[in-house]
């Protein structure tokens, strides 16, 4: 994908484009008419208050749930994401908030879980080498890959989970609250990892409640509110604007702009 | 990483300055001590337990350590051993199969009815028993997967249902004698390996370890990974070979190594390979450790559960066949009483966790030796079965206490 394309336009084509994604649970619309674009090497932060629909959107992209209506365009083609392994093999990897690691298995086993090399006589040497390479590419500091996950710290576990997500070289990596349970130093480590994912050319979707983290790494901030798009901001947008978009106070930039436009069209 | 000083000594897994490089014999010894201290006891408690039990019984009654008594013990151990090997598979997922005793009883009844009464060939009868076991496994996993029925309940129901089947097909006579001169009964009671073959077989594990160890060492070196070193491998090989040859020599002083025990050990080794070296085995441990994580990693949790329950019940059926051969009878008593708990206790005593995700096939072998040693020793002391039950119960309790103390220690030392 790094090759210079004959059509320069396609470089600007997003890897992933969602349009009009709607998800209803009975009478409740968890998501309504969501638009989202993710480009190569771009970190898109998905922010919003509780119940804004972030998790539902992630689940739809991870193949856990299906949208009620709307289209998902991946690498220029309309796709349906039927189940988690479909999403994974298509090129959308997810790092869940609870990491989904097996504590009784070592780092190598967790990295390759479900993707083991040579299923009838596990190639432990090749897997261990690949594990060190993956961790090396993320400049991650794990002392030993032959220790069970139970012996690792929270940040190290997050590192393992992120390293696992790039095993199949996905186009998009989704991170659900990667820093929620971490201390200051470990949070910084994880933010470094996110930047390295971007530098490797992955599109990154980052969900976080922590605005400082979001502003530190995101190229674009997409705000959801009550299941709807409530504004898209550049990372250097004023803090108050983003906050008011999240909180939905009537006096925010979106509502002001809509008000002035309405005035203009009436006059 | 700037911790690397010499280019020649570079290894991926030694690049981090925080990792102590445990190399050679002293390194292996040091990491072994570390593991023990942190509560990762492995097979140590069982080996110590076995030594203590042997010493106690040998002093109380010297017959216990006579070669022929040990040969008898191994004959007995193989039958329960198969059942125990099966329950290890189920326990690894954190599930339970309480019907293994009844399953083995039904299997022995099937052998009696199909082979002796109906005249089918032995292989057909054995296959029928094993297939019945597999079908029960499918049923249990179906109930668990489809209706989320806890295996504790479904297999408790299975215990009664299978016992009913056993009584039904045995009919009013209640027991069927198997012919003494048949291969199956000789296999279960008298057939031993020729002494030269037993000695040769005892060399195989050492040879395999050497070949695989050297190959692995070469591969790791080529891939720039550290390996424990030649001396450790040699020490292990020599220890294993000497121990096995000594054991074979000792058994050959008596009747010899039972073929049935040999078959059991080969099955254990095969299961151990499947558990540690195949994708299926890795998935078993993953499902036992964190089923949700396994599911999200794309592992078909339901299918893994089905294989575990199928293996569990099939091996229980095979154990039932062998115990029929051992007793030369298929009776209403087969699989009743303490068979169920002995098999489960053996797995737990051997070190398989009741909570899933920890254990190995070897635990069935080691645990069943402990259980059989106790039962054999108590029988030699002419103690009534009432006392035997109580003492076996106490040993099981001690094993579980050791297990949970070790688990707490592992948790505080940050090991799973």
Of the residues A63, A84, A102, the best mutation for testing chain B's interface (the one with the most B CB atoms within 10 Å of its CB) is A102
Q: Which of B18, B286, B298 sits opposite A105 (nearest CB)?
A: B286
Alpha-carbon gap, residue A142 to A99, rounded angstroms: 16
Give the chain B residue nearest A85 (alpha carbons). Answer: B298
Contact B414 A128 (CB under 8 A): no
What is residue B155's predicted lDDT score, i.e. its pLDDT?
Answer: 96
Give the chain A residue nearest B226 (alpha carbons). Answer: A125
Chain A residues within an 8 Å CB radius of B292: 100
pLDDT at residue B13 tops 60: yes
Residue-wise pLDDT tens digits, A89-142: 899 999 988 888 999 999 999 999 988 988 999 999 999 999 998 888 887 778
Spans of all domains in chain A: 15-236
Residue-wise pLDDT tens digits, B262-274: 999 999 999 999 9
Backbone angles phi, psi at B103, to 5 degrees: -60, -45
Closest Cα in chain B, distance from residue A205 (Å): 19
* Rounded average pLDDT over A62-78: 90
Percent of chain B with pLDDT over 90: 65
Give the chain A residue nearest B297 (alpha carbons). Answer: A114
Q: Which of A96, A121, A150 sits opposite B414 (nearest CB)?
A: A150
Contact A102 B290 (CB under 8 A): yes
Give the chain A residue nearest B13 (alpha carbons). Answer: A144
Better pLDDT: B354 or A21 = A21
Chain B touched by A145 (CB under 8 Å): yes
DSSP A86-127: HHHHHTEEEE-TTTT--TTSBHHHHHTTT--SSTTS--HHHH
What is the band of B223 on the pLDDT scale with cuts at 50, 70, 90? confident
H or E element in which residue A204 lies: strand A203-207
ipTM of the complex: 0.86
> Are A167 and A115 in contact, with CB atoms under 8 Å apart?
yes
Q: Is B80 left (phi over 0), alpha (psi -120 to 50) or beta?
A: alpha
What is the band of B3 on the pLDDT scale with cuts at 50, 70, 90? very low
Contact A102 B357 (CB under 8 A): yes
Chain B touched by A19 (CB under 8 Å): no
Chain B residues within an 8 Å CB radius of A156: none
> Are B374 and B395 in contact, with CB atoms under 8 Å apart?
yes
| Structure token digits, residue A207 | 């969900």
Among A207-216, B193-202, B349-358, the range of highest mean pLDDT: B193-202
Q: Which of A103, A126, A145 sits opposite B290 (nearest CB)?
A: A103
Backbone angles phi, psi at A20, to 5 degrees: 65, 30
Contact A146 B13 (CB under 8 A): yes
Closest Cα in chain A, distance from residue B205 (Å): 18
pLDDT at residue A263 tops 90: no
What is the band of B338 on the pLDDT scale with cuts at 50, 70, 90? confident
* Rounded average pLDDT over B280-286: 96
Percent of chain B with pLDDT over 70: 94
Chain B touched by A116 (CB under 8 Å): yes
DSSP SS3 for A169: coil
Closest Cα in chain A, distance from residue B416 (Å): 5
pTM for this structure? 0.88
Alpha-carbon gap, residue A126 to B9, rounded angstroms: 19
Report chain A's terminal Cα–Cα distance, integer Å.
Answer: 50
Q: Which of A116, A141, A147 sits opposite B279 (nearest CB)?
A: A116
What is residue A3's predicted lDDT score, i.e. its pLDDT?
Answer: 42
Residue-wise pLDDT tens digits, B127-174: 999 999 999 999 999 999 999 999 999 999 999 999 999 999 998 888
Chain B touched by A132 (CB under 8 Å): yes
Of the residues B10, B12, B351, the best mutation for testing chain A's interface (the one with the most A CB atoms within 10 Å of its CB) is B12
* Rounded average pLDDT over B174-202: 93
Chain B touched by A83 (CB under 8 Å): no
> Are B227 and B216 in contact, with CB atoms under 8 Å apart?
yes
> Are B352 and B359 in contact, with CB atoms under 8 Å apart?
yes
The CATH code of the domain at A15-236 is: 3.40.50.300
Closest Cα in chain B, distance from residue A176 (Å): 14
Alpha-carbon gap, residue B339 to B331, rounded angstroms: 14
| Structure token digits, residue B297 | 């990693």
pLDDT at residue B216 tops 80: yes
Give the chain B residue nearest A142 (alpha carbons). Answer: B16
What is the band of B405 on the pLDDT scale with cuts at 50, 70, 90? confident
Alpha-carbon gap, residue B107 to B195, rounded angstroms: 32
Chain B residues within an 8 Å CB radius of A150: 410-411, 414-416
Alpha-carbon gap, residue B368 to B79, rounded angstroms: 9
pLDDT at residue A2 tops 80: no
Mean residue pLDDT of chain A comes to 85
Closest Cα in chain A, distance from residue B218 (Å): 10
B-proximal residues of A, 27-46, CB under 8 Å: none
Going by the DSSP 8-state scheme, the letter that residue A149 receives in this structure is G
Going by the DSSP 8-state scheme, the letter that residue A178 receives in this structure is T
* Rounded average pLDDT over A195-216: 89
Better pLDDT: B58 or A211 = B58
């Amino acid at each position: 994908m790094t090759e210079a394309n004959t059509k320069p336009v396609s470089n600007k084509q997003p890897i992933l484009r969602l349009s009009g994604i709607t998800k209803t649970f009975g009478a409740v619309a968890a998501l309504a008419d969501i638009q989202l674009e993710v480009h190569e090497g771009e970190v898109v932060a998905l922010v919003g208050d509780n119940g804004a629909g972030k998790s539902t959107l992630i689940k739809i992209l991870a193949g856990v749930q299906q949208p009620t209506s709307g289209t998902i365009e991946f690498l220029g083609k309309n796709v349906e994401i039927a189940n988690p392994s479909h999403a994974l093999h298509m090129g959308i990897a997810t790092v869940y908030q609870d990491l989904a690691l097996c504590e009784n298995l070592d780092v190598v086993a967790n990295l390759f879980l479900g993707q083991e090399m040579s299923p009838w006589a596990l190639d432990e040497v090749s897997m261990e080498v690949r594990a060190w390479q993956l961790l090396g590419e993320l400049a991650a500091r794990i002392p030993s890959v032959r220790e069970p996950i139970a012996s690792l710290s929270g940040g190290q576990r997050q590192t393992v989970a992120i390293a696992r997500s790039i095993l199949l070289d996905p186009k998009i990596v989704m991170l659900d609250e990667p820093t929620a349970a971490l201390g200051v130093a470990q949070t910084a480590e994880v933010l470094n990892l996110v930047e390295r994912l971007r530098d490797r050319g992955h599109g990154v979707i980052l969900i976080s409640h922590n605005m400082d983290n979001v502003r530190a790494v995101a190229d674009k901030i997409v705000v959801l509110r009550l299941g709807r798009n409530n504004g898209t901001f550049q990372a250097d947008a004023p803090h108050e604007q983003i906050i008011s978009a999240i909180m939905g106070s009537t006096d925010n930039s979106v509502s002001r702009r809509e008000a002035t436009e309405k005035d203009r069209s009436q006059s | 990483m700037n911790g690397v000083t010499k280019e020649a000594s570079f290894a991926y897994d030694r690049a981090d300055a925080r990792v102590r490089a445990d190399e050679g014999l002293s390194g292996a010894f040091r990491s072994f001590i570390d593991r023990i201290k942190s509560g990762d006891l492995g097979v140590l408690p069982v080996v110590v337990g076995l030594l203590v039990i042997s010493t106690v019984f040998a002093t109380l009654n010297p017959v216990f350590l006579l070669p022929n008594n040990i040969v008898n013990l191994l004959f007995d151990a193989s039958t329960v051993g198969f059942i125990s090997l099966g329950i290890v598979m189920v326990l690894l997922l954190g599930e339970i199969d309480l019907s293994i005793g009844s399953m083995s009883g039904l299997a022995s009844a099937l052998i009696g009815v199909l082979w002796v009464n109906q005249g089918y060939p032995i292989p057909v009868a054995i296959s029928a028993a094993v297939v019945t076991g597999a079908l029960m496994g499918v049923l249990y996993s179906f109930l668990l997967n489809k209706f989320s029925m806890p295996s504790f309940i479904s297999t408790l129901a299975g215990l009664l249902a299978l016992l009913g089947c056993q009584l039904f097909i045995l009919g009013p006579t209640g027991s069927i004698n198997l012919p003494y001169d048949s291969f199956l009964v000789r296999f279960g009671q008298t057939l031993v390996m020729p002494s030269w073959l037993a000695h040769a077989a005892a060399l195989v594990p050492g040879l395999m370890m050497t070949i695989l160890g050297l190959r692995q060492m070469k591969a790791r070196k080529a891939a720039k990974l550290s390996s424990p070193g030649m001396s450790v491998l040699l020490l292990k090989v020599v220890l294993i070979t000497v121990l096995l040859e000594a054991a074979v020599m000792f058994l050959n002083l008596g009747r010899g190594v039972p073929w049935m025990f040999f078959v059991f050990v080969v099955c254990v080794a095969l299961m151990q390979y499947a558990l540690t070296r195949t994708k299926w085995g890795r998935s078993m441990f993953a499902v036992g450790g964190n089923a949700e994580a396994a599911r999200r990693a794309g592992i078909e949790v339901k299918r893994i559960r089905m294989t575990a329950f199928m293996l569990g019940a099939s091996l229980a059926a095979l154990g039932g066949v062998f115990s029929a051969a051992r007793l030369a009878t298929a009776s209403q008593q087969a699989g009743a009483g303490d068979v169920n708990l002995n098999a489960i206790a053996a797995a737990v005593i051997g070190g398989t966790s009741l909570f899933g995700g920890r254990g190995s096939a070897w635990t069935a072998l080691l645990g069943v030796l402990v259980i059989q040693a106790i039962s054999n020793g108590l029988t030699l002391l002419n103690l009534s079965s009432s006392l035997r039950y109580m003492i076996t119960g106490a040993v099981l309790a001690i094993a579980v206490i050791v297990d949970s103390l070790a688990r707490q220690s592992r948790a505080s030392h940050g090991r799973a």
